[in-house]
Structure 1
Amino acid sequence: MNQMIINSTTIGVVISVMGYELGLLLKRKFKSAIFNPLLISIIFVICCLLLFRVDYNNYNKSAQYLSYLLTPATVCLAIPLYQQIKLLKENMVAIFAGIISGVLTSLVCIFVFALIFNFGHEEYVTLLPKSITTAIGMGISEELGGYVTITVAVIIITGVLGNICGEAVCKIFKITNPVAKGIALGTSSHAIGTAKAMEMGEIEGAMSSLSIVIAGICTMVGASVFANFI
C-alpha cells in the first residue's frame, strides 16, 4: 500500500474524499453533530495510514492537491456575504465590535493558558492562530517561530469543536440573533464553523464568512503583539 501511494499522484485524494463521504453518510443517518464529516474523515485517514503502515509524508504528497483548493474555497465564502451586504451596512459597528472582541478573547485565553502551563515561546505562538483559517494560521505560526504542523492540528480541532458545539452553545445562552450566531461561529471556529453557520441560515453563513476575513486580519496584528509577551 505504501508503494502504491508513492507511485500514485491521486490515491491520497481518493482516501481523503472517501473518509469525508463516509462522514456525510454517518451524519445523514444518525443526524448527530458528533458525526462531523471532517472529524470522521480525519479518523478514517489515520486508521488507513496505521492499518496499511503508510508513511505520512508519502500520503501528504499524494493528497497535496486538496490543499491547493483551500485558498479559493475560502475566497468563495465572500459570495453569501455579498448577498447580505445590506445587513452588513446596517449592523457594521456591532459586527466589527463582536469580531474584534472575539479575537482579543482568543488571544488573551491563549496567553493565560500559556502562563498556567508554563509554555515556552515556540509552544505559545503555535497556539495563537488557533481560531483562524488554516491558510492564514500556518503563515502566522511560521513567521512567529511556532510549530506549523501542530498549529494546523489545533486549528482543525478548534473548527471541529465549534462545528459540533456551536449551535448547542447558542441555545444554552439563548443567542437567537442570526448575526450574532454567525459572528460567534466565524470568529471562533473559522471555515469549519462557517459550514455549520451556513446550515443554520443564510444570514448566519454570510456573517460567519465576513468574520473569517476580519478575524484573520486582526489575529495577524494581534498575534504579532501578543507574541512578545512570552
Structure 2
Amino acid sequence: MQFQNKTVLISGGASGMGLLCGQCFARQGANVVLADINEQALKEKTAEITAFGGKAAFAVCDVRDYAQVTAACETAVSVFGAVDILINCAGGAETRVLNHHEEFKDMPISVYDWGIDVNLKGQFYFDHAAMKQMAKQKQGVIINIGSITGEEGCSANVAYSTAKSGVMNGLTKSLARYGAQYNVRVVCVSPGPVLTRPGMASMKTLQGRAAQPQEVVDFILYLASDKAAFITGTNHFIDGGRYAMERG
C-alpha cells in the first residue's frame, strides 16, 4: 500500500492505460480521481473501483478547456484534500481518432489543431493547474506521457508527433526546473507500441513484441513512488528497444 493516503489525478482516466493506472493506484491505497470527457464511462469505472474497496471520484473534463481542467483539480482537492500525483494519460493520434487520412498538405487544419490541443496543450493545462496545488503543498509528482513517435516523427500524425516531442523535452524539463523549488518532481514516460489496440502489434521492436499495458503502468507506479525520489526532468522510453533499432 505504498500510495496510502496519496491523491492521484489521472486525465484520460475512463479507459485504456489511464483507467488501468487508476485501478492500480487504488489497489495500492491511493485516492483516485479519474478525469475524462466520457461521463458515462467515468461513472461506471469509478463505481467499479469503489466496489473493490478503492477510493475514487471523477471529473468530467475536456482537456482542451482550461476551466474544466482547473475544475478537475479542484474536485481532487475538495474530495480528498490534495493533488499528490498527476498522470497525463489523455491523448490520441489525430488521424485515427478523427478518421481523417489525407496527406499532410490536404489535411484540414482543424484535425491538426485537435492533435496539438489534446496532446500538448491538454498536458500543459493539467500541469499548470496541478502545479498551483502542489506548490501550496510543497510536494508532488507530475508524470507526462510522451511517445516513441515524438522521437521518430510521423508523416501521417504530424500534430501527434510534434506535440509528444514538446511534452518529452521542453515541457517536462522546464517544469522540473520550476517545480524543484516546491519539491515537485516532473518526468515523462514515452511508450513504444503498447497492446491497447491490436494494430500496435505490427510495430517493430528489438524484443519482437509490443508491451502489455501493465508493463507501462508498473513503470509509471515506480516513477510516482518514493523509490524514484531522485528522478526528475527526464524522459524515459519503455519501448522494447525500438529507439535503439537501426534506421533506414
Larger radius of gyration: 1
TM-score bracket for the superposition, by shorter chain length: under 0.3
Normalising by the residue count of structure 1, what TM-score does the alignment of the two structures yield? 0.25
**Normalized per residue, which structure has more helix?**
1
Scaled by the length of structure 2, the TM-score of the pair is 0.24
